[in-house]
Structure 1
């Protein structure tokens, strides 16, 4: 598991909305709640840990972006995200170190 965590940590990157748009159109973007560690979610998905992933979905800690979120993102083109690709998904968390 440490090896998988290291691989995913290398793939973790900051992204802008423009980079995410093609993935949003393909409906593969998954929003990860800030209380979760993006790497932990990536590991659970990569290892097909269905119980954990299902729990997060039921608690709405991971979900597809809502139309309200997409509108908010589109109105703030400077919004930044932490992004992690775990095929076929692109996991994102809104970066908190941005100006309003």
Structure 2
């Protein structure tokens, strides 16, 4: 499990909303709330930890993006997220707006 966590940590990257659109089309995006560690969520999904993942879903700590969220992000195509690919999903976590002032 440590190897998987290290591997996922190494593959964590930033992505702009426009880069995530193909994953929206495939319905493979999962939003991770800022209170959770995105790598820990990735490890749980990769290891098929159903109880933990179901708990996060029930507590609305992980979810599919809502139409309202996608509309807001669509208005700002350069909005940035932490992104982590855990096949077949792409986990995303909004970055604070302060990180979004780069050209």
Shorter-chain TM-score above 0.5: yes
Aligned length: 99
Segments of 4+ in structure 1 off by > 4 A? none
Structure 1, unmatched stretches of 5+, are none
CA distance in 1, matches of 2:63, 2:79: 19
Deviates more, 1:72-81 or 1:84-93: 72-81
Structure 2, unmatched stretches of 5+, are none
CA distance in 1, matches of 2:80, 2:50: 29
8 Å contact from structure 2 (residues 18, 78) kept in 1: no
| 2:100 aligned residue | 98
Per the normalisation by structure 1, the TM-score is 0.95
Per the normalisation by structure 2, the TM-score is 0.93
CA RMSD, Structure 1 to Structure 2 (Å): 0.8
